Structure 1
Amino acid sequence: MARKKGRDITGWLIVDKPAGVTSTSVVNKVRWALDAKKAGHAGTLDPDATGVLAVALGEATKTVSILTDALKCYDFRVKWGAETTTDDASGEVLRSAEDRPDRAAVEAALSGFIGQIMQVPPAFSAVKVDGERAYDLAREGEELDLAARPLWVESLTLLDADRDTGRLEMVCGKGGYVRSIARDLGRKLGCLGHVAELRRVWSGPFEVENGVAFDKVDREAQDWLQAQLLPLESALDDLPKLRATPEGAIRIRNGNPGEVTGGAEWGELVWVSDGNLPVCIGRYQGGKVQPERVFNL
């Protein structure tokens, strides 16, 4: 018997991920609940983290890279006094310290973590090492020497603090690890630290206030869930929007450069519509757009 492939359904479902669930599990449940043929997500959250997980369905999966590159905001609490194997509360304590920072010391240290910084990912992360995931190697007890990676930190603010913890908000670009921030901040302050709580407040245009609770993701609520879908172009707010001419739309749908109205910088990434339908993401080339991702809508 042929396997049922699912429905062609396109859009974004924003889920408020609870703690204790993997990002992959959320995507799989959304796909099952909506009987969708294709689904993916834009930016993994740790199992213990909560907040915005943007699930792309159908043709929206072609815009995942745009959202992955967008700024994201995290609200997190750092517990001082211990460094762990995972850089969060789920790991085993590696080292401990008696010293505790006061509020002024924490605020003074934050400036070193703002702007373009270099960050070493946690050992328990999805970074690949010789083709294998770092977390798989770490679980096997292998000592890892991960290379530092560039990260843009737009802002890092101390929201409140007590003797043993500090609550912070960070806005950062692609590839940021909050756990690394907690670890490195603790080291800089000499008190050590790890993430105790972590919540993604927003990711690009998607905010947690508009997210669907995970326990509402169910086939019995399929019609309601489908009504919560945001259109594909919701993830494209940061790109200039151009409109294809009738002839240009035909050429673009066939993967060729097509004429557009409106303008942008030469070589700039844009998105193109044909009436109310998005046609592609592509590069502007002086009156035409060379498509990079064509939407079959």
Structure 2
Amino acid sequence: MAQVKRIRRKVDGVLVLDKPREMTSNAALQKVRWLFNAEKAGHTGSLDPLATGVLPLCFGEATKFSQYLLESDKGYETVMQLGIATTTGDAEGEVTERKPVDVTPARLESILATFRGDIAQIPPMYSALKRDGQPLYKLARAGEVVDREARSVTISRLDVLDWDGDRVRLAVACSKGTYIRTLVEDIGRELGCGAHVAQLRRTLAGPFEVLSAITLDVLERAHEEGGAEALDGFLLPVDSALEHWPLLTLSEHTSYYWLHGQPVWAPDIPKFGMIRVQDHNGRFIGIGEVSDDGRLAPRRLVRSE
């Protein structure tokens, strides 16, 4: 008997998932997509399997704006294990070195201070970055090490939250593209004892905080009780990642031409920059950019029913 193909639902919005430990970001995405029975979904930047915390998932029309979450600042809490270095920079790797730990609070603070602000960071071999189309982590597993260019990142916060023996809990706020494993390894190297990430939790991604994130257990229970439609109440609006952008309301007449790809004039258009746009009914219809002549040009449009 032929297998009946599952008919997916059109689902639009953002779900802020609290990713569980020991699960890849893609596995979490596929599980949640299955629970929602959604046509289209994507995540906004991978978390390591070891990591937990904020993983925004975009559904349907929200996937058009996922790049702006990829580019957003992030926040983390991490436990730095001093005295032990590993192949991957975290607890999942093999131990490569053990050293005695003789670090004072003053010494640690002096080292942390050198990592605050704009720094150059070399991405780790165990990462999803690609070289000639091949992810670096695959090369690393094959025993290969290739040169990686240092990248500029910004560490806006790096503070000690707790210190228990050889384990230091740190709060980190950073720009996109920052690798916490590399940060911890570099700190350990400067301290002279080595270090790796024992725990990692993302607490912030753009405007989304871990306190408002939904666990997989909550989603599964809701699905058991009410099916896929019962999960829709957990979704945030399509433009929730852009709520800090200026908002412009277009008239019914102007919205028609703008939605057909034409730059338009409108009252109160800002002088420059990217704009979040809604129609006269308050419905989000896309994002635009102010052109040199002062008109609002469409950049990404939301599909209407």
Normalising to structure 1: TM-score of the pair?
A: 0.94
Deviations 1:22-52 (A, max 9, x none): 1001111111111111101112110010001
Q: Matches of 2:230 and 2:200 in 1, distance apart? A: 29
Aligned to 1:122, the other structure's residue is in SS state coil
- Asked if residue 271 in structure 1 is aligned to residue 273 in structure 2, the reply is no
Residues 5 and 287 (structure 1 numbering): CA distance in 2 closer, same or farther, change over 3 Å? farther
Q: Does 1:226 align with 2:232?
A: yes
How far apart are the structure 1 equivalents of 2:174 and 2:202?
A: 11
Q: Deviations over 1:168-226 (max 9, x none)?
A: 01111111111011000001111110000000112111111111111233343423321
TM-superposed CA distance for 1:269, in Å, is: 1.4
- The offset of 1:254, in angstroms, is 1.6
Q: One-letter code of the match for 1:57? A: F
| 1:69-108 pair list within 5 angstroms | 69-108=71-110
Structure 1 residue ranges (4+ consecutive) displaced by more than 4 angstroms after TM superposition: 1-5
Q: Structure 2: how far apart are the matches of 1:102 and 1:185?
A: 14
Aligned to 1:290: 297
1:238 paired residue number:
244
- d(CA) in 2 for partners of 1:242, 1:279: 11
Tell me by how many angstroms 1:287 deviates.
Answer: 4.6
Of all paired residues, the percent bearing the same amino acid is 39
Contact kept, 8 Å, 1:114 with 1:154, in 2: the verdict is yes
1:52 alignment counterpart: 54
Task: Give the equivalent residue in structure 1 for 2:179.
Answer: 177
TM-score normalised over the length of structure 2? 0.92
Deviation at 1:90, TM superposition (A): 0.5
Distance 1:122 1:273 in 2: 42
Q: Alpha-carbon deviation of 1:163?
A: 3.0
Give the CA deviation at 1:3: 4.4
Q: What aligned pairs does 1:1-297 form with structure 2 within 5 A after superposition? A: 3-4=5-6, 6-218=8-220, 219-220=223-224, 221-266=227-272, 268-274=273-279, 275-285=281-291, 287-297=294-304
For the aligned residue pairs, the C-alpha RMSD in angstroms reads 1.7
Identify unmatched segments of 5+ residues in structure 1: none
**Alignment check: 8 A CA contact 1:243 1:273 kept:** yes
Contact 1:154 1:172 in 2 (8 A): yes
TM-aligned CA deviation for residue 259 of structure 1: 3.0
